[in-house]
């Protein structure tokens, strides 16, 4: 029991530490979306009223796609906001359920490992060749660097979920911490509301909320 408690405490601390990085990455993604909206308004006004479109507008939109698409992935994983099929896994209980979670998490880690490797290669190639956008010739390597960085944060979140699932395979009666939990739509909405407000529920901490792949 003491080992299980210490393991849950260590997992909870690690999850909280990673959550700060995930929140910051998600804030960057949200900021990129907001700035793109502002840039769009400026582009329309300057082009329509002053006949002076923003230089490199299309290139800036392309470069912003990576931050908007990937930086919030680990944050969504923590909240359980990613879509997954539960028709099969929802039928399992106890140790078998967590064995299936371990299997699914390992598959996710393998896929992300491949994505990190090849996205890092693409970044390094763009950096060494001095690759730029076609129109304004902005360097593309900062945008490409965000992809392996975002995937690495996501990889770290999955490692924590793997830790939590393995812990429950060993002791299915232990309190679930940092693992994927099957919830209905109302529970998910409530969790996301508390997360958005920066609040914690009385029943569970943010580290207890698992993700879905």
What is the pLDDT averaged over residues 129-140?
Answer: 91
Q: How far is CA 130 from CA 57, 62, 145, 176, in A?
A: 20, 17, 13, 48
The answer to whether the CB of 67 falls within 8 A of the CB of 32 is yes
Q: What is the pTM of this model?
A: 0.81
* Distance, CA of 79 to chain centre: 9
Spatial distance between the Cα atoms of 14 and 38, rounded to a whole number of angstroms: 37
pLDDT tens-place string over residues 111-125? 999 999 999 999 999
Helix (H, G, I), strand (E, B) or coil at 5: helix
Segment 19-34 mean pLDDT: 94
Residue 210: what pLDDT? Answer: 41
């Amino acid at each position: 029991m003491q080992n299980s408690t210490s393991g849950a405490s260590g997992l909870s601390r690690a999850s909280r530490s990673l959550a700060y990085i995930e929140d910051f990455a998600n804030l960057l993604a949200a900021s990129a979306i907001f700035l793109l909206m502002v840039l769009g308004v400026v582009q329309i006004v300057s082009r329509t009223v002053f006949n002076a479109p923003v230089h490199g507008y299309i290139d800036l939109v392309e470069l912003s796609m990576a931050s908007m698409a990937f930086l919030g992935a680990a944050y969504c994983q923590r909240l359980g906001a990613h879509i997954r099929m539960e028709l099969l896994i929802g039928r399992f209980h106890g140790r078998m359920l967590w064995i299936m979670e371990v299997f699914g998490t390992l598959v996710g880690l393998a896929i992300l490992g491949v994505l990190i490797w090849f996205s890092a290669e693409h970044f390094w190639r763009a950096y060494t060749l001095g690759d730029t956008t076609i129109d304004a010739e902005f360097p593309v390597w900062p945008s490409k660097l965000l992809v392996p960085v975002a995937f690495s944060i996501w990889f770290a979140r999955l490692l924590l979920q793997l830790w939590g699932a393995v812990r429950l395979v060993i002791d299915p009666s232990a309190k679930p911490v940092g693992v994927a939990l099957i919830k209905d739509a109302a529970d998910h909405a409530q969790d996301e509301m508390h997360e958005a407000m920066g609040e914690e529920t009385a029943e569970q901490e943010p580290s207890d909320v698992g993700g879905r792949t």
